[in-house]
């Protein structure tokens, strides 16, 4: 039997996502004391920098009585060109699950195809499903079900935007995307979302009456080479107080972090009363602990 992976939210489907969120909220409220992953090892391969993803997976494994190994290309044979198929087979012989953050989603899929243990997408150029689990958990904790809500995505049509598109399709919320010309999301992922998503020319149109406003950096990891051009292109897409005033009173603000105050978000919004970014960051831990139990078939 092939293992269960989380490469995209589609691997969980609506019911799977709901189960993870329910379990995450439960774990956060009453942490387990039975160390359900005693003796189990999670390999974590990071081709790109990380604070939250690394710490949340590592701390989650510790809390469950297991262990996580941090692997970077510089210190392993991955960086010296060992084929991904070989690395995948070897890690699966020694570890119980693998988490990967890498540049190319295609490489992640190749890795998963050769892995006999669950593989978790810790961010690729295309998707960031673990962050969405935390974002949905955070929305549910603050406002209840996200189905039927209106969510505004402001800024780059990047990996996070793509995962929001997938979530909108699977969970039934409306996603309005305002991105500058040339930075729209992948047309296939957008089209797959159907009626759940629409592109807006202006940030105000997207935010008008929204329950949740979300943004992310203007230059993702790997896109930094055109930073100056990007800063100019995104100038009208900052989430600030004036923009937030178009949303529903009491609308939430989220950002996966790390944030650049004064660029994609003003300090008064991210540090203000509508921002739930610290809950969102904490929920990476709970959502991924719930995810690990599911993928490793632990009751
Ligand atoms: N949000 C997120 O994935 O953060 P890190 O890059 O710090 O892991
Ligand atoms: N879109 C950002 C998310 C970082 C967590 C990036 O890929 O760098």
CA 139 to chain centre: 14
From the CB of 130, is ligand 2 less than 6 Å away? no
Share of the chain above pLDDT 90, in %: 97
The predicted-structure confidence for 185-216, as pLDDT tens digits, reads as follows 999 999 999 999 999 999 999 999 999 999 99
Instruction: Evaluate whether 134 touches 146 at the Cβ level (below 8 Å).
Output: no
pLDDT band (50, 70, 90) for residue 3: confident
CA–CA gap between residue 290 and residue 28 (Å, rounded): 10
In this prediction, residue 94 carries a pLDDT of 98
Tell me which residue of 215, 291, 290 sits closest to 247, measured CA to CA.
215
Question: Is 70 exceeded by the pLDDT of residue 1?
Answer: no
E strands, 212-271, are 212-215, 252-255
| 256 is annotated as an active-site residue | yes
Residue 2 has pLDDT above 90, yes or no: no
Catalytic residue among 126, 130, 131, 135: 131
Instruction: Check pocket membership of 160 for ligand 2, CB cut-off 6 A.
Output: yes
**Looking at the CA of 102, which ligand is closest?**
2
To test the pocket of ligand 2, the residue of 57, 126, 128 to mutate (highest count of ligand atoms within 8 Å of its CB) is 128
CA of 56 to the centre of ligand 1 (A): 10
Ligand 2 neighbour 135 (Cβ under 6 A): no
The predicted model scores a pTM of 0.98
Which of 3.50.40.10, 3.40.50.10490, 3.40.50.1370, 3.40.50.720 would CATH assign to domain 9-127+284-295? 3.40.50.1370
Per residue in 130-167, pLDDT (tens digit) is 999 999 999 999 999 999 999 999 999 999 999 999 99
Alpha-carbon dihedral angle through residues 256, 261, 263, 269, given to the nearest 10 degrees = 80
Say if CB 95 and CB 43 are below 8 A apart: yes
Domain ranges for the chain, please list them.
9-127+284-295, 129-280
CA–centroid distance, 193 to ligand 2, in Å, is 21
**CATH architecture of the domain formed by 129-280:** 3-Layer(aba) Sandwich (3.40)
% of the chain surpassing 70 pLDDT: 100
129-280 has the same fold as 9-127+284-295: yes
């Amino acid at each position: 039997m092939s293992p269960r992976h989380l490469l995209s939210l589609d691997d969980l489907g609506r019911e799977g996502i709901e189960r993870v969120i329910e379990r995450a909220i439960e774990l956060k409220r009453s942490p387990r004391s039975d160390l359900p992953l005693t003796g189990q090892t999670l390999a974590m391969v990071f081709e790109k920098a990380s604070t939250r993803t690394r710490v949340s997976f590592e701390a989650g494994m510790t809390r469950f009585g297991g262990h996580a190994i941090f692997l970077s290309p510089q210190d392993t044979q991955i960086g010296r060109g060992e084929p991904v198929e070989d690395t995948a087979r070897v890690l699966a012989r020694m570890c119980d699950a693998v988490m990967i953050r890498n540049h190319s989603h295609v490489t992640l899929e190749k890795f998963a195809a050769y892995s006999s243990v669950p593989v978790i997408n810790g961010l690729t150029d295309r998707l960031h499903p673990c962050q969405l689990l935390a974002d949905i958990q955070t929305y549910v904790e603050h406002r209840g079900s996200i189905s039927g809500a209106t969510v505004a995505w402001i800024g780059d049509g990047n990996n996070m935007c793509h995962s929001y598109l997938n979530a909108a399709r699977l969970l039934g919320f409306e996603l309005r995307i305002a991105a500058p010309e040339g930075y729209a999301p992948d047309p296939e992922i957008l089209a797959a979302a159907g009626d759940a998503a629409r592109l807006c020319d202006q940030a105000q149109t997207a935010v008008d009456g929204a329950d949740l406003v979300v943004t992310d950096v203007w230059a993702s990891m790997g896109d930094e080479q055109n930073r100056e051009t990007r800063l100019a292109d995104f100038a009208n897409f900052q989430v600030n107080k004036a923009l937030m005033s178009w949303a529903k009173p009491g609308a939430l603000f989220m950002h996966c972090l790390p944030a650049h105050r004064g660029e994609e978000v003003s300090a008064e919004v991210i540090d203000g009363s509508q921002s739930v970014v610290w809950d969102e960051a904490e929920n990476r831990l709970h959502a991924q602990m719930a995810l690990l139990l599911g993928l490793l078939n632990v009751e």
